[in-house]
Amino acid sequence: MTKSYYAGMDVDAPCGRCKGETRHRILSITDGIPEKLICANCNSVHKFRSEKPVSAVSAARSPRMATGAAPRPTTSPSRFQELMIQDQAGAKARPYNIAEKWEEGAWMDHPSFGLGKVQRRTGRKAEVLFREGLKTLISG
């Protein structure tokens, strides 16, 4: 069974800065595989690794690593938009307005960042997930 991921999902993954497995939020996905994560503990942004990194010595001994991994598929610039539109499921994206009160789960069309989904709202700020990553915007 293949695990399905989506942008904004929380996952446990190894963090190089924290030196262990910590909770992360997925920032971007390519072909159903997380690409970039942000650590909930130290806020560092890094590539997704499904398991702890293997040292160079053990990699040389491992037959799986010796054969080489398959190259990652190239990222289509519209793939993020396709995934977001799938997740959107017919909901209308409203144009961003600083005076509007943006609620969690709302879809917005920002003039600079494009299509985004509100992930969390705290006070007068809303964290919105865009193609470039998580952005904090002012919300009325």
Chunked mean pLDDT (size 10), the chain, 140 residues? 74 82 83 83 81 51 50 55 71 87 90 88 90 87
CA angle 99, 124, 46 (to 5 degrees): 115
**DSSP per position, 93-140:** PEEP-TTS-PPTT-EEEETTTEEEEEEEEETTEEEEEETTEEEEEE--
- The domains of the chain are located at 10-66, 79-138
Looking at residue 77, its pLDDT comes to 47
Mean of pLDDT over the chain: 77
Angle at 111 between CA 106 and CA 112, to 5 degrees: 105
pLDDT in tens, 52-64: 555 555 445 545 4
Q: How far apart are CA 4 and CA 87, in angstroms?
A: 13
pLDDT digits (tens, 9 = 90+) for 67-76: 555 555 544 4
Give pTM, 2 decimals: 0.42
**130 vs 3, 56, 62, 84, 114, CA distance in Å?**
23, 35, 38, 9, 7
User: What local confidence, expressed as pLDDT, does residue 54 receive?
Assistant: 52
Contacts of 101 (CB under 8 A, 6+ apart): 139, 140
Identify the bridge partners of residue 138 per DSSP, sorted by sequence position: 125
Query: If you ran DSSP here, which 8-state letter would residue 90 be given?
Result: T
